[in-house]
A and B are shown apart, each in its own frame.
Chain A
Amino acid sequence: MDTAVLHSVNAMPAPTWHRLAMNHATIDVPDDLALEHRADVRCDPALFGEAGAFDAALRGLQVHTFGTPEAACSLDDAKALVERETSPAGQDGFNPLDATALSAFQTRAAAVEVTRSVAGAFETGMGPEALDFLREASGAAVVLATAPGDAPAQASVRTFALEGALNACAIDVAVADGTELDLALTHESGKVSRGMIGSSLRAYVGRGATLRLSVTQAAGEGTTVLDDSGIVLDEGARLVVRHSVLGGDEAYGGLACDLRGTGSQASVTTRYIGQNSQKRDFNFVMRHRGEHTASSLNVAGVLAGSSEKTLRGTIDFVRGCKGAEGSEVENVLMTSDDAVNRSVPVILCGEDDVAGNHGATIGSMNPEQLFYLESRGLSSQAAEAMALRATVENAYFDAPDSFARAAVVAFGRVHFPDFEESVA
């Protein structure tokens, strides 16, 4: 493993002032970590698909969307085309001051659409550098694929930290038209002095199909977690994501969703806690390309100790996504003076016939809520600790399978002595 530093992880599509240090994250990867690809996968054996199922699905979507298997041009050619239309080196007699001086990200965004390439537009939340890194570290991907007419299917994948190792797992998913898949990813660890867990998910959700993705991260101390996803939705497809991010010294989560098909929908709910000096870093991108698509991001968490959290949430209305709607809501409860919260809720919009909104509230506990709790004998510290614990308990109750439940119980036991009894 040559890579020592991932320089640009969770980069938001539209950067802002570098001084704020929010545009992306940087991850140090110790050179001497051993590479492991140990994951427990539990599902009906019939669900295992052929290697290349995801790429084949995207090729099908390419033909279905653009009527041709080929992209119109490369991204570089597309950028050159966009720049020719807007740059000082434009056509003779054309005054560049009459053209709109697009920013670098606006040029790139326009160019991606010019390529007319589903695969070329594919992205994950953590970005290309992390995708390459995790795919290389993971070895062969676990491939899960439903077939048309299949009954609703379930799959569970558990990854765990190993001392002195990066244990990574790549998963490719193709959910066939009209089918349903519940996929549960669990990341866990006992206490290790140094370890990394990585997962890289690429998923295609077919016409009228549904993917329910549950990610439960209950890693212990000493662990860094990289959870990266890129999901493409075909016509009428539905994606429902639930993240519970509880542990790990550093937890990076990225999710990008290409709402390509008309009427496709994505809903992402993320709950997290940060304690001690833990770091949480999220990048969610909802890319609306299809007409009448809908997305919702709902992120809430509790920051205690000197923990730090960064959330980059982007709703992008790409030109042509008429009738699309996107919303983003964030609530952050900061229980400590030393905690740091960074939020960048972004809306990018190249289409007029859309409705987008976001709202965020950040701060301490609502005085009315606090008063209510204090009137019942709870101190403010106890009330805030209760919020922390409630997030873990909810993770237990939302846990989709026994892997996730066991991981949350093991996590809760470390932090709350009576946790097991309270959720029993």
Chain B
Amino acid sequence: MAQQRTHVDDVDRSLYDVANAEDPTARFEAGLTPEIVTEISRRKNEPEWMLDFRLKSLDLFSRMPAPDWGPSLAGLDLDDIVAYVKPATDQQSDWNSLPDDVKNTFDRLGIPEAERAYLAGVGAQYDSELVYHSMQDAAAKMGIVYSGIEEALGDPQWEPIIREKFMTLIPPHDHKFAALHGAVWSGGSFVYVPAETRLDYPLQSYFRLNAKGAGQFEHTLIIVEDGADLHFIEGCSAPKYNVANLHAGAVELFVGKGAHLRYSTIENWSKNMYNLNTKRALVDADGDVEWISGSFGSHVGYLYPMSILKGDRAACSFTGITFAGAGQNLDTGCKVVLAAPDTSAAVETKSISKDGGVSTFRSSVVATERAERAKASVSCQSLMLDDKSRSDTIPAMDIRCNTVSIGHEATIGRIADDTVFYLMSRGISEEEAKAMIVNGFAEPVSKELPLEYAVEMNNLIKLEMEGAIG
């Protein structure tokens, strides 16, 4: 008898697949040269140190090898990637001031509506530049700064701070695509939350890459001072093209003593995207960073948010879900460094593979000699929805302190027949039972998101169970 199998539809991306016409004069030539890097810097009127930084990064990039342990990057020819595409507008603080096509794009994505409903501030990037930035007056009065990072770089008050921290958590020599980012970064946000300040509503940055064959290299720098609290949301999408696009952004988070930062991401790049993003947080004593991550899009993904717990009792958590469908190889996970006494980390991840998609959970937990009494728990669960797909789990632990307590568990498999049977014995149809199980599988992530985003995620997954198919 044929094995009965659950059918799960692909993620519905029609909402995200609308591409706008491009102005060809707004594109730089494809490829990476010192001239292109210099021109990016010139256009942004950057200080000299930043141009030097870019050129040194470009030199590093040209000399560093591509990773050989992850999904193939053979389909990504960097000579074909356009490093900079200027949108047809300057940055605005009013949605109605944007060109119609850009405004309509963000309208479709629901960003203005979300801003009105529950966000304290929004930044929207279109190709290589921020096109919209706004924050509520109440937040500004609290001393919170939320601006484009380039804008902040041009402000004498913030320039020294950015110079002090920029790419210190993700140095260009860290890996090839960090070096690439250092050379051609453009756009992104700067957030500063003063000490003991709590923002009750999230800030959100949304990144839209419209240009065919282009790269997006935004840089997000967030400083949450001692005792402060922030929820930051990041979203991203792109229309699908038949050539490769590249996202190599960087996120650097500095979490002060006793501060709390929640960083939520719903990643829904198109399936021609190489998402080679790097995210890191440095957490001081009693601070806490929470990563919430949903990875749905991209052709290839390398994404491992890293938490460096340098202060006593600092903590981090990572809750993530990855959905890999046809043509996708998503290599995701996280890194944790327990570098101080009584630090703690909790990692919980889920992955779903279907239709030949490949999902890999990759992690590292490093406990240094200083990590006395540190604790870490890592749990990863993988669900295989067919026998064409693949799901790998590659966790690494490097423990150099004997008073730590490290736990790790992982399970892999398909929807259990006995679970379906149990639900069916309670009067639920097989179709509904399987849908419930898959939705329940994703629930630990969706419950951590604001309601509106949880709904978006559920829509994004759109797990339409079509019942048992022989």
A171 is an interface residue with CB less than 8 A from chain B = no
A30 is an interface residue with CB less than 8 A from chain B = no
Contact call A342/B329, Cβ cutoff below 8 A:
no
Contact call B384/A342, Cβ cutoff below 8 A:
no
A-facing residues in B347-375 (Cβ within 8 Å): 356-358, 360, 362, 364, 366, 369
List, in ascending order, chain A residues with CB within 8 A of B242's CB.
Answer: 95, 97
Contact call B412/A349, Cβ cutoff below 8 A:
yes
Question: Using an 8 Å CB-CB cutoff, how does the interface string of A202-235 with B read, 1 for contact, 0 for none?
Answer: 0000000000000000000000000000000000
Contact call A104/B402, Cβ cutoff below 8 A:
no
List, in ascending order, chain B residues with CB within 8 A of A103's CB.
Answer: 69-72, 329, 331, 360
Tell me the dominant secondary structure on chain A's binding face. Answer: mixed
CA distance A99 to B244 in the complex (A): 13
CA distance A344 to B243 in the complex (A): 36
Contact call A354/B299, Cβ cutoff below 8 A:
no
Given A99-B327, A102-B71, A360-B406, A14-B394 contact (CB < 8 Å): yes
B382 is an interface residue with CB less than 8 A from chain A = yes
Which of B271, B366, B411: most chain A CB closer than 10 A? Answer: B411
List, in ascending order, chain B residues with CB within 8 A of A86's CB.
Answer: 72
Nearest residue, chain A, Cβ from B273: A97
> How far does the Cβ of B393 sit from chain A's closest Cβ, in whole Å?
4
Contact call A361/B70, Cβ cutoff below 8 A:
no
Given A102-B72, A343-B397, A97-B329 contact (CB < 8 Å): no
Nearest residue, chain A, Cβ from B274: A101
Question: Using an 8 Å CB-CB cutoff, how does the interface string of A1-26 with B read, 1 for contact, 0 for none?
Answer: 00000000000001111101011000
A28 is an interface residue with CB less than 8 A from chain B = no
Nearest residue, chain A, Cβ from B5: A352
CA distance A341 to B400 in the complex (A): 6
A98 is an interface residue with CB less than 8 A from chain B = yes
Nearest residue, chain B, Cβ from A328: B410
Given A98-B327, A337-B402, A344-B408 contact (CB < 8 Å): no
Given A16-B364, A101-B329, A353-B393 contact (CB < 8 Å): no
> How far does the Cβ of B305 sit from chain A's closest Cβ, in whole Å?
14
List, in ascending order, chain A residues with CB within 8 A of B356's CB.
Answer: 100
Nearest residue, chain A, Cβ from B3: A353
CA distance A101 to B331 in the complex (A): 11
Question: Using an 8 Å CB-CB cutoff, how does the interface string of A326-355 with B read, 1 for contact, 0 for none?
Answer: 000000101111011111111111111111
B155 is an interface residue with CB less than 8 A from chain A = no
Contact call B412/A100, Cβ cutoff below 8 A:
no
B15 is an interface residue with CB less than 8 A from chain A = no
> How far does the Cβ of A165 sit from chain B's closest Cβ, in whole Å?
34
Contact call A97/B75, Cβ cutoff below 8 A:
yes
List, in ascending order, chain B residues with CB within 8 A of A87's CB.
Answer: 72, 74-75
A106 is an interface residue with CB less than 8 A from chain B = yes
A38 is an interface residue with CB less than 8 A from chain B = no
Would you list the 5 A-B pairs with minimal beta carbon distance, nearest first?
A352-B384, A334-B402, A101-B72, A362-B406, A360-B408
Please list the residues of chain A having a beta carbon within 8 angstroms of any beta carbon in chain B: 14-18, 20, 22-23, 86-88, 95-107, 303, 317, 319-320, 322, 332, 334-337, 339-364
A88-B74, A351-B384 given. 6 additional CB < 8 A pairs? Answer: A14-B394, A101-B75, A101-B299, A336-B402, A359-B409, A363-B403
26 contacts between A and B (CB under 8 A): A20-B364, A20-B396, A20-B398, A22-B396, A22-B398, A97-B244, A100-B326, A101-B72, A102-B72, A102-B329, A106-B358, A320-B387, A339-B400, A343-B399, A349-B392, A350-B390, A351-B384, A352-B386, A353-B3, A353-B387, A357-B410, A358-B408, A359-B410, A360-B407, A361-B408, A362-B404
